[in-house]
Amino acid sequence: MKTFKKFMVLTMTLSLVLFSSCSKSDDEGGSGSAASGTLTAKVDGKSYKSMEISSSATVANAGPGDNLIIIASNSDGNAFAITIFGYTGTGTYDITGANIGVTNVASYSETNVNLSNPTASTTEIWQAPYDATKIGSFSVSEETDSNIKGTFNFKCKNVLGDNSIKNITEGSFNLTKKTS
């Protein structure tokens, strides 16, 4: 739980530090195939599905424009965190490090719990972007007052660990939307 809190603090810190707008194009992705209240994806080809109770989308007003923050975890302790800065609704947003002042961020984390010694549990975090190239996109296809749907894909790197790359494909979300 302490590691999860650190992950959340890292995600929120990145959100606050990177106040900026996003790149948005006119083409919108499909709505995806995630069940209501969940986020699904393939992580290096392996299926991932979040739990409804631990998955949310929040549209937060942070000055000029909104930010969309998605947090979704599963029962294995694996989680996604995605923040889109300057969120304006349906459309496609790039995940790129080409301009550090205009950077949307995404991460995937895996927590390995040591049941015999919980303080020895570990968390690895793969983050995007990790260089100046476009490494993915995030598309919102439907949005209502209470729900948001769309798709995503990106590559992420374990920059604080072994520098391994994870390929996130077939990402889809169908989440309850909150505003703050």
31 has a pLDDT exceeding 60:
no
**Bridge partners for 123 per DSSP:** 111
Residue with tokens 């947090």: 71
What span, in angstroms and rounded, lies between the C-alpha atoms of 46 and 3?
A: 23
- Residue-wise pLDDT for 106-117, tens only, equals 999 999 988 999
Q: Is the pLDDT of residue 18 over 90?
A: no
Domain ranges of the chain: 2-179
pTM listed for this prediction: 0.80
Q: Which two tokens stand for residue 77?
A: 């302790």
Q: What is the pLDDT of residue 33?
A: 81
* Overall average pLDDT of the 150-174 stretch: 97
Within a 10 A sphere around the Cβ of 100, how many other Cβ atoms?
A: 10
**Residue 87 reports pLDDT greater than 60:** yes
Query: Which of the pair, 23 or 131, is modelled with greater confidence?
Result: 131
Whether pLDDT at 5 is above 80: no
What is the arithmetic mean of pLDDT over 135-159? 96
- For residue 6, what pLDDT band results from cuts at 50, 70 and 90? very low
Helix and strand numbers (H, E) in the chain are 1, 12
Q: Are 109 and 125 in contact (CB under 8 A)?
A: yes
